[in-house]
Structure 1
Amino acid sequence: MRAVTELNLTPKSACGCGAAHDQLPELDATAIPHAVRHAAIHGVVDSLQPGAAFVLVAPHDPVPLLAQIAERHGDDIAVDYVQRGPEAWKLKLTRA
């Protein structure tokens, strides 16, 4: 029997800052197995429709992942930091 990993794409952010991202789905990267984490996140980014966004929750500043996203999508994906550690980094990713 195969184990199923839940990606934990929740309906809204729990940071409580009151910003517009509170209405966005939140993807907790820590719930994704490390071996497929970047590929899974790229799948979510690739599937964003114009104007759509989500909040990525990462256990560290995902600089290498952001470089990969920029290489794949150029200026089509905007990244805004919502929270910068120390326990988690939250980034809003939006397709132009």
Structure 2
Amino acid sequence: MADIDIHASRDEAAAAHAAECTCGEVNEDLPEINVQTIPHAIRHAAIFGAIDALAPGGGLIISAGHAPLPLLAQMDMRYGKKVTTSYLEQGPEAWRILIRAVA
């Protein structure tokens, strides 16, 4: 069984992983999540899980077929100034939003 390391913060855990990771993969592009592919009942929770997994300075893009105003309001309540959002595309058929964890 693998060892489990306990870190004092997410920043410390991310730094430890970056120093120890030997997978050879490099994230050159930001992952993009088409939120319409996630079942509605778990959609926001799945997006929050993805945001929680971001390293400081990391980001992802979400795309939707409508303006995700309820999600953005929930994100503001949950994360406050810990994440930033900016529209990459604003309809009328597609909305794409860059979400970045503040470093």
Task: Please report the TM-score for the alignment, with normalisation by the length of structure 2.
Answer: 0.69
Aligned to 1:24: 30
Structure number with bigger Rg? 2
Q: What letter matches 2:38 in structure 1?
A: I
Q: Which residue is equivalent to 1:81?
A: 87
* Structure 1 residue ranges without an equivalent (≥5): 1-21
TM-superposed deviation, 1:45? 0.9
Distance 1:68 1:90 in 2: 17
Task: Pick the aligned partner of 2:73 from 60, 67, 72.
Answer: 67
Partner Cα separation in structure 1 for residue 29 and residue 93 of structure 2: 22
Normalised TM-score (structure 1): 0.74
Q: C-alpha distance in 2, partners of 1:33/1:64?
A: 16
| C-alpha deviation, 1:47, in angstroms | 1.2
State the 1:23 CA deviation.
2.4
Q: How many residues align?
A: 75
Structure 1 residue runs of 4+, over 6 Å off? none
Root-mean-square deviation (CA, aligned residues, Å) is: 1.3
Give per-residue Cα distances to partners, 1:52-83, cap 9 Å, x unaligned: 00110011111111111111111011000000
Aligned equivalents of 2:83, 2:71: Cα separation in 1: 13
Secondary structure in 2 matching 1:49: coil
Q: 2 CA distance for matches of 1:47 and 1:23? A: 16
1:33-53 CA distances to partner (integer Å, 9 max, x unpaired)?
Answer: 111111111111111110000
